[in-house]
Amino acid sequence: MAKKTAEGELVVARNRKARHDYLIEDTYEAGLALMGTEVKALRMGRASLTDGYAIFYGDELYLEGVHIPEYVQGTWTNHTPRRRRKLLLHRAELDKIAVKVQGSGRTIVPLSLYFKNGRVKVEIALATGKKAYDKRHTLREQQDRREAQRAMSDRFKRGGR
């Protein structure tokens, strides 16, 4: 289901796996060119970003692999669930992203899909894929931080300093 954040944004979907699989370099907020039934399906809180990525066709950026299921009460005008959707960004941002993606090993992944002031936005990130040992190292760091936090909280609960 969709959840409201502190900034008043209604988050429809998050790609939590992206932060595990990729090293995030830059993030951008982009609009999406959608059909009416897609917006209605998103308002119901239904979407999946797990297989999504963005790619350039010509000088425009498109979002692919994002699953927005068909609107339940839609008719023959319903949309295709995994169709290519145009990302709406300023030309300067598109040019900047295009230059950075030309470097080897970089990709554009969607991080979250949300409503902001009644409009659908997607947070995309310029990312580099992590190797298996990088993922293990990140997990180990998170576990160490969690254990240290627990030790500190246990110490304060017992009244020690």
- Please report where in the chains the tokens 């180990």 appear, as a residue: 140
Contacts of residue 28, defined as CB under 8 A and 6 or more positions apart, other chains included, come to: 89, 93, 97, 123, 124, 125, 126
**What's the pTM value of the predicted model, to 2 decimals?**
0.74
Reported as a pLDDT band with limits 50, 70 and 90, residue 8 is low
pLDDT (tens digit, 9 = 90+) per residue, 98-142?
A: 888 887 778 889 999 898 888 889 999 988 877 777 778 888 888
- What token pair was written down for 40? 């209605």
pLDDT at 28: 92
pLDDT (tens digit, 9 = 90+) per residue, 32-60?
A: 988 777 888 888 877 888 888 888 988 89
With 90 as the cut, is the pLDDT of residue 91 above it?
yes
Identify which of 44-48, 90-94, 97-101, 152-156 has the greatest average pLDDT.
90-94
pLDDT at 153: 82
Instruction: Give dist(CA 142, CA 83) in Å, integer.
Output: 36
Bridge partners (DSSP) listed for residue 62? 55, 86
With 60 as the cut, is the pLDDT of residue 1 above it?
no
pLDDT at 62: 92
pLDDT at 25: 86
Average pLDDT of every residue of the chain: 81
